[in-house]
């Protein structure tokens, strides 16, 4: 399995069957993390975690506090793609970790407004 990260005309192919996407919430300034798996041409989220609740960051009733994070399994069907929108309110963008490597995507200064994550064909 591999994950394609598409930013404008640039495509990065990551040999990974799973990845973690994390970012800092633009208003609350708290950490948000999601674990995803790549399979059958789709992306499936398996766990979400946030450090605290606030503007647009309410946890579902089944969330459990473990250490500094609230954790839960989102009830979202597998997706063909995940779209990440670059925002000047979050200059560091998203941190994408896969296969033991981490990279920033959608950071300030990048030209692509939308970053697309999808399973590679």
Instruction: Look at residue 119 and tell me if it is in a domain.
Output: no
What is d(CA 90, CA 42) in angstroms, rounded to the nearest whole number?
27
Range of the domain at 64: 16-78+86-111
Residue labelled with tokens 């990260």: 5
What is the rounded distance in angstroms from the CA atom of residue 15 to the CA atom of residue 18?
9
Residue 10 lies in a domain: no
Q: pTM value?
A: 0.89
Which backbone phi and psi does 84 adopt, to 5 degrees? Answer: -115, 125
Q: For 11-52, write each residue's pLDDT tens digit.
A: 999 999 999 999 887 776 788 999 999 999 999 999 999 998
* Domain total in the chain: 1
Q: Is the pLDDT of residue 112 over 80?
A: no
Q: Considering the domain boundaries, does residue 106 fall inside one?
A: yes
Average pLDDT over residues 81-99: 85
120 inside domain = no
Q: Residue 43 in contact with residue 4, Cβ under 8 Å?
A: no
- Domain contains 72: yes
């Amino acid at each position: 399995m591999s994950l394609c990260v598409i930013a404008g005309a640039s495509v990065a192919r990551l040999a990974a069957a799973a990845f973690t996407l994390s970012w800092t919430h633009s208003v609350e300034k708290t950490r948000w993390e999601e674990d995803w798996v790549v399979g059958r041409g789709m992306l499936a989220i398996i766990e979400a975690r946030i450090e605290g609740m606030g503007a647009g960051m309410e946890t579902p009733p089944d969330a459990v506090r473990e250490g500094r994070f609230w954790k839960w399994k989102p009830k979202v069907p597998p997706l063909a793609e995940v779209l990440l929108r670059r925002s000047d309110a979050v200059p560091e963008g998203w941190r994408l970790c896969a296969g033991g490597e981490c990279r920033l995507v959608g950071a300030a200064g990048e030209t692509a407004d939308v970053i697309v994550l999808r399973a590679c064909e």
